[in-house]
Each structure stands twice: as structure tokens, then as C-alpha cells.
Amino acid sequence: MCQNGMMIQQSSSFNHLSVLSRELLAGLKVTPEGKYLDATVGGGGHSQQILSAAEQVQVVAIDRDRDALAAAKVKLADYYPQQIEFWHGNYADYQPRDVLFDGIIADLGVSSPQLDIPERGFSFRHSASLDMRMDQSQSLTAAEIINHWQEKQLADIFFQYGEERFSRRIARQIVRERPFQDTIDLAQAIARAVPAKYRYGRINPATRVFQALRIAVNEELQSLERFLGFAPYWLKPAGIIAIISFHSLEDRIVKHRFRDCEALKIITKKPITAQADEQKLNPRSRSAKLRLAQKTNP
């Protein structure tokens, strides 16, 4: 498929439903000929809404995941190259040169397609290799962490990134049984490590450990800290930064970084959450939190 001089591979496997779109657009106040940065473009849903919200809008779209970027290029092909620029990499490594933006957005965490594609290894719902890399060109995988990191290191990441109360027991069990190569084998070992009454509760006992592994593999919290240290200074005066997070660790960083940045004025004292109709349509939106801040005048 070739559109506007750009070769595009159709990516039917990456179909992501963007969350809090109404609230995000309302908060951004998209202006004609405005410049916007989508730091986590995913399947392109938020960028498409920004591009269609006003005339001659321009967007820089970033993603670490080549599959996501390929899907976004298909979705947004009508805007390329006049109104959109794509950049592959970690948003914390991006440098905008001399460009200032009217708005910056980031939709954090793992996307639905990453969870649903078995070979990516993000989910224990499928038998797959322990991968979990958002950028598949990087060397560190979940298998490397599980099979080679020390027991204390494992316990620390399970506790810090997964807020897992049985982190030490789980780390001990993993070290005793390793090596692991398969997601289901690891999930079963985690279940054996926790007390019996926790094995069949509302939350699978592997959930928090898999979250912690994903965060560690992709250095998600470190990247978010770095990004929020730079991003406010990429905004024009009165420009808006909008961050959507999905768990308390991310939301805490966003809240504190917004509060501590002298260049920002907080718009949302409490995070915006999804309305009932969106939660019914997209259950993933139930945990989403949107925070907004505005660049102050120099």
C-alpha cells in the first residue's frame, strides 16, 4: 500500500481504542495551525482526533513500538507528510530542536494490542516467550530478568513496581524453579508462591508481578520522570500538557512533577476519569486518569 509517497504495511493486528478522548480534546483546546506532540501515538486514535479538530494542525507522533507506529501510519496516512511527522523511539530521548508545541499528550502504559498479541509476552493469558519489550530492538527481556537477576532484585521490583505484598515469597519461588521461558509457566510458579486463599481471588496472583516485569524491562517510570523533566519547556506560553496514566505509580509521578515544575500551572487538582458510557464501552478506561497542566508565561 502506498499513499502520499510513503510505503505502508497494513497492520490489522494493532487495533487500539483510545481512552478519555472527549476529555483530552476539551482540555487541549486544539487551535488552527497549532503544533502538537503525541508522545505515545499507539494506534493513532488521539492524533487523529487532534488533526481533525481544527484546520492545518501539525502533529509529531512518537512510539517505541514499531507495530504501533506502523498502525498509526496506516490510520493517519491522509495527513502525511504535510501535517504529521513520525518518530520511532523512547519519548524520553526525543529532542524537538527549535519547535515549541501548543499541546503535548502522552497515553502511558501498555496498549490493548500489546496485551492481546501472544508473541509479545505481556500477558499470562497466552503461552508465549517472556519478552515484554515495547521496543523490540532493545536487548533486555523479561526472561533475562527472571532467569538471571538476583533474588533480592526480583523482590524489589515486584514490591516497588507491582506493589506486591508477597514479593519475597514469589522471588524465592522463581529462583528455586528457574529457568523460565514461558509466560504461563511463570504465572503458575507465582500462584504456587502465594497463600492458597489468594490463588483464586478477583485478581490473578501473577498480575502485579507481570506489571512489575513490564515496567522494569521498559524502564517506564524512569522514562516518564525524564520526559516530564523536559516536556514543559517544549510548550509555548499557555500550551497544555496532558498525561493519561493507568496505575498509581505513574499517576503519582505525574502529579508531583506537575506540582513541582515552576513552568506549569495545574489545571486538574484531581485527575479526570472516564464517564460511565466510556467505561461500559471500554473496560480498560476504568483505571485511566487524566491530568492537565498549562505552561505559564515566561
Residue 260 — pLDDT band, cuts 50, 70, 90? very high
As a whole number of angstroms, the distance between CA 281 and CA 284 comes to 9
Over pLDDT 90: what percentage of the chain? 84
Summary mean pLDDT of the chain: 92
Mean pLDDT computed over 18-40: 97
C-alpha torsion sign, points 41, 43, 45, 47: positive
User: Cell triple for residue 166?
Assistant: 508477597
Cell numbers of 212, please?
A: 512489575
Per-residue confidence (pLDDT) for residue 116, from 0 to 100: 79
Cα distance between residue 162 and residue 155, in whole Å: 10
Q: Is the pLDDT of residue 200 over 50?
A: yes
What pLDDT is stored for residue 5 in this prediction? 34
* Residue 18, pLDDT score: 87
With residues binned 3-state (H G I as helix, E B as strand, rest as coil), the percentages for the chain, rounded to 5, are 45, 15, 40
Calpha distance 229→225 (Å, rounded): 6
Please say if the pLDDT value at position 8 is more than 90.
Answer: no
pLDDT band for position 290 (50/70/90)?
Answer: very high
Higher-pLDDT residue of 25 and 117 is 25
The DSSP call for residue 71 is H
Nearest CA among 201, 203, 193 for reference residue 168: 193
Supply 295's cell numbers: 505552561
Tens of pLDDT along 59-89?
999 999 999 999 999 999 999 999 999 999 9
Q: What is the pLDDT of residue 16?
A: 60
Longest dimension (CA), the chain: 60
